[in-house]
A and B are shown apart, each in its own frame.
Chain A
Amino acid sequence: MKADPLGVLTGTHFMDGDHACCEGALAAGARFAAGYPITPSTEVVERFAARVPTVGGTFIQMEDELAASIALQGGVWGGAKAFTVTSGPGFSLMMEHIGYAAMTETPCVFVDVQRGGPSTGLPTLPAQADMMQARWGSHGDYEIIALCPNSPQECFDLTIKAFNFAEEFRVPVMFMMDEVVGHMTEKVVIPPADQIEVTPRKHTHKSVEDYLPYGTNGDMVPEMAHAGDGYKFHVTGLTHDERGYPNMTPQTQDKLVRRLQNKILSAVDRICLFEEDRLDDADVVVVSYGITSRVAQRAIDAARERGLRVGKLRLITAWPFPDRKIAELAAHVKAFVVPELNLGQMVREVQRAAAGKAKTFAVSHAGGGVHNPDEILNAIVEASRC
């Protein structure tokens, strides 16, 4: 379906990534947000708080991130599209509720504007060190989707995509911004509402008698009902059967947890978005994401000027990881260079997916700034010689 024009600020704007993310959420149909202030993410909810009363929705500033991350899920079961926004320390507090959203299949979006850590770390400075936490932070086996914008324009476009994925797969989607992308101001073009595709909630049309809250009927994503619809359904974070009733058997656990994984993994090729450039003749591929991809671009251009055959693979979807794409490239390139604002997170995935067929060079940075492009260039040069 098309976006509700009420929430779409059509036009050409000069806007930072945080604000663009908020506009993306509004365009996607988000009408409820619960948040707790934390630098460098707060501008997203500040804008939402200002905008949402004029489009028919609610923002509430909760008492902490634990509350924000579960209030938004109450909002979803009350019928709204909902999200919350945070940064590292708050993201840590939200982990239990990411697991709850995965287990209860609550479609929602968690925005994490990454800053340096661990702990309070660098509140006003960038990092990309929450990437593994986004994937593995809550206990138990589950799959999520994580997207990484590298510009304010993408903060708008991909926030819509994040909500659409959340609704399609009934999964919490992590929107992994970073401080630089959140605070940089660039041109953001917001199209007319009729050019914005939004995925509606997978709401059941079954009768009360026929409705099974977690029945899948072949399709791995169950249909949803909202409180007040008359279905008198039950939702629990306990292992549950198709009726939504707790069931503590290994068989029910196996069936449920495998479905939660497979509903994402079976669609991995559709979910995995990436940008590629000059891969055809590449000996070396720079794999990057978020703000680091823009620094890497300069290094790639400089390497090409020197005659080095280097290509670009920018991860737009970080999770699920594009194993197949990396494996295909590994079969005919010498090496991958992976710069990121952490001491080695996604590089482990590249290494795993390359399965020894190509070498992997990490270009790590502890955060607090971005790479000097020369560091990445040096790694490309080294990788070209291997």
Chain B
Amino acid sequence: MLNVLDETVNPVEPFLRSDRMPHIWCPGCGIGTTVNSFVHALIESKVDLQSLALVSGIGCTGRVAGYMKLDSFHTTHGRAIPFATGLKLANPKLNVVVYSGDGDLSAIGGNHLIHAARRNIDLKVICVNNLIYAMTGGQTAPTTPGHATTSTNPYGTFEPAFNLPHLLDAAGAVYVARWTTFHVRQLSRSIGEAFAKKGFSFIEVISPCPTLYQRRNKMGDGLDTMKYYKEKSKVKHGAPTGEVGLTLNGEIAVGKFVDRDRPDYQTMMRAQYVEALGDRYIEEPEMECVCG
């Protein structure tokens, strides 16, 4: 007899800490959609889950780490990347994913973002960009497009926004892609591609905040935003990143913008030590020494 219940188990569920549900995200929020794509990428790319560590900063997206049944670290505001750097360097066998928001990664954590990309630390960064500080109530972020209304720019923003793919391209990331939460399969595929690459990968996911961004800017609810993403997105693989900046109502360039190879930090480090120290270089950390 067909076990109907087994057939209807959500494939995402085994990856979640079900005992932490319900989650804190609002109806129409895109973060859960990105988690869905992330889990499908884990399933399809057959990543070893035991060696996978997830690091988040602070904010709505920063809560992802707490909901995933993985070794997970909810760190301080902006510092997910340097924490992840330490984790990866101390245990190079780990596959380290940084999952955080645009404000966390590109404002308070902006310095770490560019330096980790420059060093080409082997990290997979998923940046959920809802164009705003959501958890604190809808303040302007470095990614908020010009003229958008926010709680701290009630008459409209006027400072230029970061074009994150351009920033990461310039800083040296080996893989840079952007999708929206409408592009669930493409996003999943991109995350899988990032897992297959060694080095600093950055995937930006444009995601709605119906509670604070869409509402204040009269852009409708979650469904309206999906329609908007569908209508305005244009796939532009390999587009020059200088041309993919976002505007309030304009086109959303999506796709894989950067895919290049250069040695990652630890590969360069080992090569340099071997050249300088020869046999005196001892590569593997002596973990026995710590655990006794």
Contact = CB atoms under 8 A, between A and B. Distances in A.
A291 B291 CA distance: 35
Nearest to B71: A227
Given A78-B94, A200-B290, A237-B74, A227 B281 contact: no
Contacts of A235: 72-74
Given A56-B284, A75-B86, A201-B291, A234 B72 contact: yes
Interface stretch (B29-37, B75-83, B159-167, B190-198): B75-83
Contact of B76 (A29, A80, A81, A100): A100
A4 B17 CA distance: 39
A68 B291 CA distance: 23
Contacts of A189: none
A96 B84 contact: no
B53 A81 contact: no
Interface stretch (B62-70, B145-153, B221-229, B256-264): B62-70
Interface stretch (A59-67, A266-274, A344-352): A59-67
B126 to A, nearest CB: 18
A368 interface: no
A74 B84 contact: yes
Contacts, number: 182
Contacts of A234: 17, 65-66, 72-74
Interface in B244-292: 269, 273, 277, 280-287, 289-292
A4 B85 contact: no
Given A31-B289, A56-B282, A228 B90 contact: no
Contact of B112 (A63, A226, A246): A63
A100 B86 CA distance: 15
A57 B282 CA distance: 8
A78 B73 contact: no
A263 B269 CA distance: 40
Given A62-B82, A75-B89, A80-B285, A245 B20 contact: yes
Interface in B19-77: 19-20, 49-51, 53, 55, 65-66, 69-76
Interface residues of B, number: 50
Contacts of B73: 74, 77, 227, 234-236
B124 interface: no
B290 A34 contact: no
Contacts of B178: none
Interface in A96-123: 96-97, 100
> Contact size class for A?
35 or more
A386 interface: no
Q: Is the interface of A mostly helix, strand, loop or mixed?
A: mixed
Give the one of A75, A80, A227, A228 with max B CB within 10 A: A227
B94 A232 contact: no
A163 to B, nearest CB: 10
Given A32-B90, A54-B280, A62-B82, A245 B66 contact: yes
A80 B90 contact: yes
B87 A74 contact: yes
Interface string B195-223: 00000000000000000000000000000
Contacts of B269: 58
Which of B65, B84, B90, B112 has the largest count of A CB atoms less than 10 A from its CB?
B90
A228 B287 contact: no
A34 B286 contact: no
B18 interface: no
A184 interface: no
Contacts of B53: 227-228
Contacts of B79: 66-67, 70, 97
Nearest to A200: B292
Given A74-B82, A79-B91, 11 more contacts: A31-B90, A32-B86, A34-B82, A56-B283, A63-B82, A71-B85, A75-B89, A77-B87, A97-B79, A228-B51, A228-B93
Interface of B: 17, 19-20, 49-51, 53, 55, 65-66, 69-76, 78-79, 82-91, 93-94, 111-112, 115, 269, 273, 277, 280-287, 289-292
What 9 A-B pairs are tightest by C-beta distance, nearest first? A200-B292, A74-B86, A78-B90, A71-B86, A67-B82, A236-B74, A74-B87, A78-B91, A75-B90
